[in-house]
Amino acid sequence: NAGVTQTPKFQVLKTGQSMTLQCAQDMNHEYMSWYRQDPGMGLRLIHYSVGAGITDQGEVPNGYNVSRSTTEDFPLRLLSAAPSQTSVYFCASSYSRTGGNTIYFGEGSWLTVV
Amino acid sequence: AQSVAQPEDQVNVAEGNPLTVKCTYSVSGNPYLFWYVQYPNRGLQFLLKYITGDNLVKGSYGFEAEFNKSQTSFHLKKPSALVSDSALYFCAVRDLDNYGQNFVFGPGTRLSVLP
């Protein structure tokens, strides 16, 4: 059971570089999202998608882009990395927006921007 | 918008003793409440959720949570703590007003179970 798969697990970037964090789920979930986790701040929503071709901004979207060309994939792009984007990134998915549906997380991507 | 508070950054408990990790929430309608656990360098794992019905919810690994509407609380409990329960615990609520009904997480509570 793959669930939600994220790559890479660890990455070091130089300031100004761009990169893409990959996320794929095999549960046919329509709802996918990206969070960042910073100490003492819990998880904050970056972007989300309610279905293929539909994306929207979350709480902290600046500096990030997303796309959803298929139900399975939801990549997160850092356009020009900054030290403030050093964080742990989690991709998550759930079956639908119905309130009681559980959200499932990937294993995380540890990103350091130097 | 919905919000979640976890008033304790750290909870220490001796192995074999009962544990409680506190969570309070603020919602504009019926709450959908969740608990997740995170082990070092891992993703968040689902423990349990409250949607409706019985106020005492049972979940994975012997954990349970008590929903209290009057106190707007959803505390996580376990009758007898194990050293392996040491982890970071997050309370979350589904935000029905914003962000496509995504989740709002508390800041997390670090549980340390001492042998």
Chain A residues with CB under 8 Å of B100 CB are 31, 48, 50, 56, 97
Whether A69 contacts A52, CB under 8 Å: yes
What does the block give as tokens for A33? 């999202």
- Rounded Cα distance between B99 and B25, Å, is 18
Under the banding of pLDDT at 50, 70 and 90, the label for residue B61 is: very high
Whether A110 contacts A10, CB under 8 Å: yes
- Residue B103 pLDDT > 90: no
Task: Give the residue carrying structure tokens 């639908």.
Answer: A96
* B43 inside 8 A of chain A by CB: yes
Which residue blocks in A1-112 are alpha helix, DSSP H? none
Instruction: Give per-residue pLDDT as tens, A9-52.
Output: 999 999 999 999 999 999 999 999 999 999 878 899 999 999 99
So what's the pLDDT on residue A95?
86
Residues paired with residue B24 on neighbouring β-strands, in sequence order = B5, B73
So what's the pLDDT on residue B5?
95
Residues in chain A: 114
So what's the pLDDT on residue B19?
97
- Rounded Cα distance between B66 and B77, Å, is 8
Maximal C-alpha separation, chain A: 41
Q: CA-CA distances (angstroms) from residue A16 to A10, A12, A40, A66?
A: 18, 12, 27, 18
Which stretch of A47-51, A71-75, B6-10, B97-101 has the lowest confidence by average pLDDT? B97-101
So what's the pLDDT on residue B101?
73
Closest B-chain CA to A61: B99
Closest A-chain CA to B1: A59
Mean pLDDT of chain B: 92
- Rounded Cα distance between B91 and B107, Å, is 8
Whether A1 contacts A57, CB under 8 Å: no
Instruction: Give per-residue pLDDT as tens, B11-53.
Output: 999 999 999 999 999 988 888 999 999 998 888 999 999 998 8
So what's the pLDDT on residue B100?
67
The larger pLDDT score, comparing residue B95 to residue A60, is at A60
Which of B4, B16, B13 is CA-nearest to residue B108?
B4
CA atoms within 13 A on the CB side of A102: 15
pLDDT over 90, % of chain A: 83
Which value, to the nearest 10 degrees, does the dihedral of the CA atoms of residues B77, B96, B29, B57 take?
Answer: -20
